[in-house]
Amino acid sequence: MTDEIDDLAGLRDRLRAFVAERDWDQFHSPKNLSMALAVEAAELVEIFQWLTEAESTVLDADRRARVEAELADILVYLVRIADRLDVDLLQAAAIKLEENARKYPAERVRGKALKYDEYD
Amino acid sequence: MTDEIDDLAGLRDRLRAFVAERDWDQFHSPKNLSMALAVEAAELVEIFQWLTEAESTVLDADRRARVEAELADILVYLVRIADRLDVDLLQAAAIKLEENARKYPAERVRGKALKYDEYD
Amino acid sequence: MTDEIDDLAGLRDRLRAFVAERDWDQFHSPKNLSMALAVEAAELVEIFQWLTEAESTVLDADRRARVEAELADILVYLVRIADRLDVDLLQAAAIKLEENARKYPAERVRGKALKYDEYD
Amino acid sequence: MTDEIDDLAGLRDRLRAFVAERDWDQFHSPKNLSMALAVEAAELVEIFQWLTEAESTVLDADRRARVEAELADILVYLVRIADRLDVDLLQAAAIKLEENARKYPAERVRGKALKYDEYD
């Protein structure tokens, strides 16, 4: 029976308690947390590095379990660092999406994967 | 006026629409998305790399804005890859937290930052 | 006219001088250098993230120039961190290759890209 | 008795033979190799992530062995990708150093760790 987590605020609170019980706040500077996040992101990359793109879309049970565990780790560190720096992740994402909508107008970038400064 | 996003499902849906309008699904294999996620995580690391841990906890306005943008990018790719592979992020995090609680009993690891296989 | 560099020892010496002139040794802890190295590695990944594998083998002039610059940055930080920790890179690589030859016997792994603990 | 490797060209040749014997060239697209390189860089970061900068400069025997192995892995993938794309690593580094000397004049950046576009 896994204790459910309802939303990002719920996860943030569970993590606060987890860290406090272990006295791990001393290690959780934003600098260190950014390193931990990058390490987990690389562990996700490692699962896919020798697969073709097509293979990466259809995972066997073992790879799927590893992917789920890495995605969870990434979310955990992302929520921790946002908490340490008092960032509202969903609001930041909403702002980012509006910027991206301006930088990448659908009619200009359709079907093309360039950076916004590469469009002519 | 930024369009608010209420929760991870709301973000997932906004991203689906954004990608569909641009016909970018063809680029969004889990393999490629994992690379994009790792790149964004590294851009976060870059902000902190020459700061001390103490400096990383107190950001000026410019650095804070860059951190928020990077956290947003990471969340965006995390939600995209979870969507492509049909992973429930909060459930995966809940499972992970229970595993971590078993691997790192508070009384044994208090104040120590070792990997679970390094405790004696 | 670029001043030629003959070998890894030559690069190490040039970097020592470059860093000393700028009084940057204070920033070059192995921790920080590992972050900088990971950031440069991700900048290389960024060039390839939306390309197919086939496209990644044939680069136009602009991408080639960016790849060369990123590979240079990675080598620079790799040599710096090895210097800080007094590691002989070529000797470490020779040892690693012998380990890999044992872990991945040619007859067992031919044409397969698995980790050494996945072979049956 | 480890077979010595004299220089980067020697390492490149040893790696070519290693890969050919295992028929692994098919996996070694620049895209995939960039992923593998980033993964190894992150494994180096992992060793340092919870250490202070001061701790990262003085490693016990176990950590030192892990660092050496990761630095070797990074060098191996760096040399592989340079070989695949026909890049002369030392020449690329020499060019980069001259660019950096221009971008970061010693008298302006002494003791400061900013990006070149942050100096006023």
Report how many Cβ contacts below 8 Å link chain C to chain D. 213
Beta carbons of B23 and B90 less than 8 angstroms apart: no
Mutate to test the interface with B, among D34, D50, D60 (most CBs of B within 10 A): D50
The span from the CA of C33 to the CA of C48, in Å, is 24
The span from the CA of B27 to the CA of B29, in Å, is 6
> Between D98 and A112, whose confidence is greater?
D98
Q: Hey, is D28 helix, strand or coil?
A: coil
The span from the CA of C103 to the CA of C116, in Å, is 6
Residue of chain C whose Cα is closest to the Cα of A51: C113
Token pair of D6 as six digits? 């004299």
pLDDT digits (tens, 9 = 90+) for C13-48: 999 999 999 999 999 999 999 999 999 999 999 999
Mean pLDDT, rounded, for D15-29: 96
Alpha carbon C81 to chain centroid distance? 11
User: Could A11 and B90 be called an inter-chain contact, meaning their C-beta atoms sit closer than 8 Å?
Assistant: yes
Beta carbons of A113 and B24 less than 8 angstroms apart: yes
Distance to chain D for C63, nearest Cα, Å: 11
Mutate to test the interface with A, among C34, C46, C50, C55 (most CBs of A within 10 A): C50
- pLDDT of D3 reads 85
Distance to chain C for D80, nearest Cα, Å: 11
Task: Determine how many CB atoms are found less than 10 A away from the CB of residue A6.
Answer: 10
Q: Return the H-helix or E-strand segment holding C38.
A: helix C30-48
Q: For chain A, give the secondary structure using H, E and C.
A: CCCCCCCHHHHHHHHHHHHHHHCCHHHCCHHHHHHHHHHHHHHHHHHHCCCCHHHHCCCCHHHHHHHHHHHHHHHHHHHHHHHHHCCCHHHHHHHHHHHHHHHCCHHHHCCCCCCHHHCC
Q: Which residues of chain B lie closer than 8 angstroms to A87, CB-CB?
A: 67-68, 71
The span from the CA of D86 to the CA of D28, in Å, is 14
| Global ipTM | 0.95
Beta carbons of D77 and C60 less than 8 angstroms apart: no
pLDDT digits (tens, 9 = 90+) for B37-71: 999 999 999 999 999 999 999 999 999 999 999 99
Q: Hey, is C29 helix, strand or coil?
A: coil
Distance to chain D for A113, nearest Cα, Å: 16
Chains with ≥3 CB–CB distances under 8 Å to D:
A, B, C
Q: What is the CA radius of gyration of chain C?
A: 18
User: Could C109 and D37 be called an inter-chain contact, meaning their C-beta atoms sit closer than 8 Å?
Assistant: no
Distance to chain A for D118, nearest Cα, Å: 20
Residue C1 pLDDT class (50, 70, 90 cuts): low
Distance to chain D for B5, nearest Cα, Å: 32
User: Per-residue pLDDT for B104 more than 70?
Assistant: yes
Token pair of D27 as six digits? 């996996």
pLDDT digits (tens, 9 = 90+) for D68-109: 999 999 999 999 999 999 999 999 999 999 999 999 999 999
User: Per-residue pLDDT for B20 more than 90?
Assistant: yes
Beta carbons of B52 and B119 less than 8 angstroms apart: no
User: Per-residue pLDDT for D120 more than 60?
Assistant: no
Q: For chain B, give the secondary structure using H, E and C.
A: CCCCCCCHHHHHHHHHHHHHHHCCHHHCCHHHHHHHHHHHHHHHHHHHCCCCHHHHHCCCHHHHHHHHHHHHHHHHHHHHHHHHCCCCHHHHHHHHHHHHHHHCCHHHHCCCCCCHHHCC
Q: Which residues of chain A lie closer than 8 angstroms to D42, CB-CB?
A: 38-39, 41-43
Q: Hey, is C40 helix, strand or coil?
A: helix
- pLDDT of A41 reads 98
- pLDDT of A1 reads 65
User: Per-residue pLDDT for A71 more than 90?
Assistant: yes
Residue of chain C whose Cα is closest to the Cα of D38: C41
Q: What is the separation, in whole angstroms, between the first and last Cα of chain B?
A: 55
User: Could A113 and C38 be called an inter-chain contact, meaning their C-beta atoms sit closer than 8 Å?
Assistant: no
The span from the CA of D31 to the CA of D19, in Å, is 17
Among D64, D75, D106, select the one facing C89 at the smallest CB separation: D75
Compute the 3-state secondary structure of chain D and give helix, strand, coil in percent, each to the nearest 5. Answer: 75, 0, 25
User: Could A35 and D43 be called an inter-chain contact, meaning their C-beta atoms sit closer than 8 Å?
Assistant: no
Report how many Cβ contacts below 8 Å link chain A to chain D. 35
Chains with ≥3 CB–CB distances under 8 Å to C:
A, B, D
